[in-house]
């Protein structure tokens, strides 16, 4: 057989390097053990192939679940962004109204910044094994702009504050959707990469090794068969040779036949007949 240069089976695949014992009973032992080793390698490889295929199917399912969620989120993002456009327009409008009635209060507002009343918390959500960050807004503290607009335009200012508070809530929701979107994008890319790696690298490799082992086993079987036939032939030849030898010696009269008890008619040991 052609010996492979590189094989994951090592020296077992190079019979010229294997030591063969031809003496007596130990001889047939060396036949059986390598074959057993190959069979075991085959079952191991089959188990690995099965494992790789199961893993690939699971990862595909995970990728599908993630992609489904991804598309849902994307749709929601588009809707919310359109809605946000509208809400922002309304809020900007009410700002213009308030400026009209209350005068320019921008500088006072900017100077009086102290503590935020609206803050956000990040929570974790789980989708098919991927943790997504989700924002939740909450209020704390009092309104530091309670006194603004007391002079004039108080109602417009109150409306303005309400509009912007609504805008902030919507934007927090949008931010949650966006972070989920980005995280899912990454997760999907990684999962798809893994699926492709298993599908195009690992499984073909295992299948090739399995095919190689099977051809090796077949080869071994053929070798055994051939060897047995040769032995039978040799034995036959030896037998014929020894028979011929016997014939010759008998013909030459060298061979003394041992006494045949049954053929003798007169027994010398008997004194009286």
CB of 1 to other proteins, least distance (A): 53
Using CB under 8 A as the binding rule, whether residue 91 contacts other proteins is answered as yes
- Give the binding range for other proteins (CB under 8 A) out of 25-33, 55-63, 74-82, 194-202: 74-82
Does residue 146 bind other proteins (CB under 8 A)? no
Q: What single-letter DSSP state applies at residue 2? A: P
Which residues inside 4-63 make contact with other proteins, applying CB under 8 A?
A: none
Q: Is 212 in the site for other proteins (CB under 8 A)?
A: no
Specify the pairing of strand 130-139 against strand 118-127: antiparallel
Q: Which stretch binds other proteins (CB under 8 A): 109-117, 217-225, 227-235, 262-270?
A: 109-117
Long-range contact pairs involving 69-72 (C-beta distance under 8 Å, separation at least 24): 69/127, 69/128, 69/184, 70/181, 70/184, 70/185, 70/188
Burial of 114 by CB count in 10 Å (0-12 exposed, 13-18 middle, 19+ buried)? Answer: exposed
Specify the stretch interacting with other proteins by CB under 8 A; choose among 5-13, 19-27, 154-162, 205-213.
154-162
Decide: is 123 part of the binding site for other proteins (CB under 8 A). Answer: yes
Rule CB under 8 A: say whether 110 interacts with other proteins: yes
Instruction: Take residue 134 and report the two structure tokens written for it.
Output: 């989700």
Helix (H) or strand (E) holding 128: none
Size of the site for other proteins (CB under 8 A): 60
* Nearest-5° Cα angle at 23, 20 to 245: 125
Instruction: Please pick, from the candidates 56, 59, 66, 164, the single residue that binds other proteins as defined by CB under 8 A.
Output: 164
Q: Is 124 in the site for other proteins (CB under 8 A)?
A: yes
- The least distance separating other proteins from the CB of residue 126, rounded to whole angstroms, comes to 13
> Do 38 and 214 touch, CB atoms closer than 8 A?
no
| Three-point CA angle 72, 131, 195, nearest 5° | 75
C-alpha closest to that of 97 among 156, 155, 147: 156
Q: How far are the Cα atoms of 104, 148, 257, 273 from residue 267, in angstroms, in the given order?
A: 156, 153, 18, 10
**Span of 117-125, 226-234, 241-249, 259-267 interacting with other proteins by CB under 8 A:** 117-125
Q: Are the CB atoms for 38 and 213 separated by under 8 Å?
A: yes
With CB under 8 A as the contact rule, the residue among 100, 138, 225, 226 that binds other proteins is 138
Closest CA to 92 of 145, 164, 173, 149: 164
Question: Residues 168, 198, 203, 217: which binds other proteins (CB under 8 A)?
Answer: 168
Judged by CB under 8 A, the stretch of 49-57, 104-112, 223-231, 241-249 that binds other proteins is: 104-112
Residues that bind other proteins (CB under 8 A): 71, 74-75, 77-78, 81-82, 84-85, 88-89, 91-92, 95-96, 105-106, 109-110, 113-124, 133, 135, 138-140, 143-145, 148, 157, 160-161, 163-165, 167-168, 171-172, 174-176, 178-183, 185
């Amino acid at each position: 057989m052609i010996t492979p240069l590189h094989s994951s089976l090592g020296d077992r695949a190079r019979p010229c390097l294997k030591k063969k014992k031809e003496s007596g009973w130990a001889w047939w032992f060396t036949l059986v053990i390598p074959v057993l080793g190959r069979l075991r390698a085959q079952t191991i490889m089959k188990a690995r192939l099965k494992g790789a295929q199961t893993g690939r199917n699971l990862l595909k399912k995970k990728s599908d679940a993630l992609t489904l969620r991804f598309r849902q989120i994307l749709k929601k993002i588009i809707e919310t962004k359109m809605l946000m456009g509208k809400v922002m327009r309304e809020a900007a409008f009410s700002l213009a109204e308030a400026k009209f009635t209350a005068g320019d209060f921008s500088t006072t507002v900017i100077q009086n910044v102290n503590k935020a009343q609206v803050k956000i918390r990040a929570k974790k959500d789980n989708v098919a094994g991927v943790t997504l960050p989700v924002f939740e807004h909450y209020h704390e503290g009092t309104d530091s702009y309670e006194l603004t607009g007391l002079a004039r335009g108080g109602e417009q200012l109150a409306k303005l504050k309400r509009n912007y508070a609504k805008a902030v809530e919507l934007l927090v929701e949008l931010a949650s959707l966006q972070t989920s979107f980005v995280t899912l994008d990454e997760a999907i890319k990684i999962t798809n990469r893994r699926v492709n790696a298993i599908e195009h690298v690992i499984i073909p490799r295992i299948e090739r090794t399995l095919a190689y082992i099977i051809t090796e086993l077949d080869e071994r079987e053929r070798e055994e068969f051939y060897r047995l036939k040769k032995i039978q032939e040799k034995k036959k030849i030896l037998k014929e040779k020894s028979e011929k030898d016997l014939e010759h010696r008998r013909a030459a009269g060298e061979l003394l036949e041992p006494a045949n008890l049954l053929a003798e008619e007169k027994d010398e040991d008997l004194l009286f007949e």
